[in-house]
Amino acid sequence: MKRIGMLTSGGDCQALNAAMRGVVKTLVNSGEKVEIYGFLDGYRGLIYGNYRMLTGKDFSGILTIGGTILGTSRTPFKLIREPDENGIDKVEAMKKNYKKLKLDCLVILGGNGTHKTANLLREEGLNVVTLPKTIDNDLWGTDMTFGFQSAVDIATNAIDCIHTTAASHGRVFIVEVMGHKVGWLTLNAGMAGGADIILLPEIPYDIDKVVEAIENRHKNGSRFTIIAVAEGAISKEDSKLSKKEYKEKLRKRPYPSVSYEVAAQIQEKCGREVRVTVPGHVQRGGSPCPYDRVFASRLGSEAGKLILEKEYGFMVGYKNREIVKVPLEDVAGKLKMVEPDAKIVKEAKLLGICFGD
């Protein structure tokens, strides 16, 4: 009998259910008896012992359903060692509930912060296997995360829809894409949607370069410009500030987000009419695309295989078109950034896309 705990932590995304289904179907089809305990609302469920036993019926028909049947929440890693409001030691509580249920392994699905805590639990002696989910595709040790391609599809569709109204009215349109620290989603959706300008957190922009690109398009006969802006995009001026100074500036910024600031600057500098569209959480919702359904299922299957072979302490990743196991200590605390000189950036520039640099 194998007793497996399972939780989804951090922001939700498409294909979480598909990945969990992949793990469970692999374990069940192995012929070994299995008990699955689903912890509700992420690490919070593991901390406070809020769980329910899951059966095969719970994983039937969920391949195409977005979100997570277990619920999720954010439990910041920087606070994980601090007692809660009732003085409960979170780490000790998680270890206690793991041992209380006599679990053989804990399967954790999450992004960067989730993997930091997962690695901590590994260091504390728990058997852990993780799966890489995030629409940001920013996890170290894997070329792809599930949820990313579905989000790219949604963000691209938003840009596609904006194209027709932008062309009709001859306006500058900004589409703000999710991504506070990393720009993979904005870069891919921007390229797929035919954006003329793409602004990323990793490549600080010069607003004058952005305006110049808009004016050049106008001179060449283009009536409109599409700008894909990551929500974490930053100007060259602001990139020189300390972290503390920048946070203070953001606190006082009179705009809802960077996109509205860029829009105001464009209007001021060249007088063109600018509109901002923010798809927001639509990007992480809905049914997973076919790619993510297959990808998450494959990752889940390999996670189940690791559990059967008692290989713990790994994230199941994807490198060079192969499913691989990556030591958790190599993943935790690292972000996979868009390098300014990356081939995909250079190729985008060859296509005429401006990055404001």
Q: Return the CATH fold of 2-147+288-331.
A: Rossmann fold (3.40.50)
> For domain 151-284, which CATH number applies: 3.40.50.410, 3.40.50.460, 3.40.605.10, 3.40.309.10?
3.40.50.460
Axis-axis angle for helices 184-192, 343-350 (nearest 10): 30
Per-residue pLDDT of 33-80, as tens digits, reads 999 999 999 999 999 999 999 988 999 999 999 999 999 999 889 889
> Strand, coil or helix: what is 317?
strand
| Catalytic, out of 12, 136, 138, 292 | 136
Q: Would you say residue 197 has pLDDT above 90?
A: yes
pLDDT of residue 170: 80
Q: Is the pTM of this model over 0.85?
A: yes
Q: Would you say residue 271 has pLDDT above 90?
A: no
Q: Would you say residue 321 has pLDDT above 90?
A: yes
Residues 6+ apart with CB under 8 A from 252: none
pLDDT of residue 272: 86
Per-residue pLDDT of 3-26, as tens digits, reads 999 999 999 999 999 999 999 999
> Strand, coil or helix: what is 37?
strand
- Average pLDDT in the 266-288 region? 93
For residue 315, which amino acid is it?
M
Q: Would you say residue 203 has pLDDT above 90?
A: yes
**Band of the pLDDT at 247, cuts 50, 70, 90?**
confident
What is the token pair recorded at 285? Answer: 């919702």
Active site residue 341: no
Radius of gyration of the chain (CA): 22
Phi/psi zone of residue 320: left (φ > 0), alpha (ψ -120 to 50 degrees), beta? left
- The mean of the pLDDT values for the chain is 95
Can you give the residue ranges of every domain in the chain? 2-147+288-331, 151-284
The rounded percent of the chain whose pLDDT value lies above 90 is 85
Closest by alpha carbon to 133, among 107, 155, 158? 107
Element (H, E) at 248: helix 243-252
Same CATH fold assignment for domains 2-147+288-331 and 151-284: yes
What is the token pair recorded at 146? Answer: 């599930």
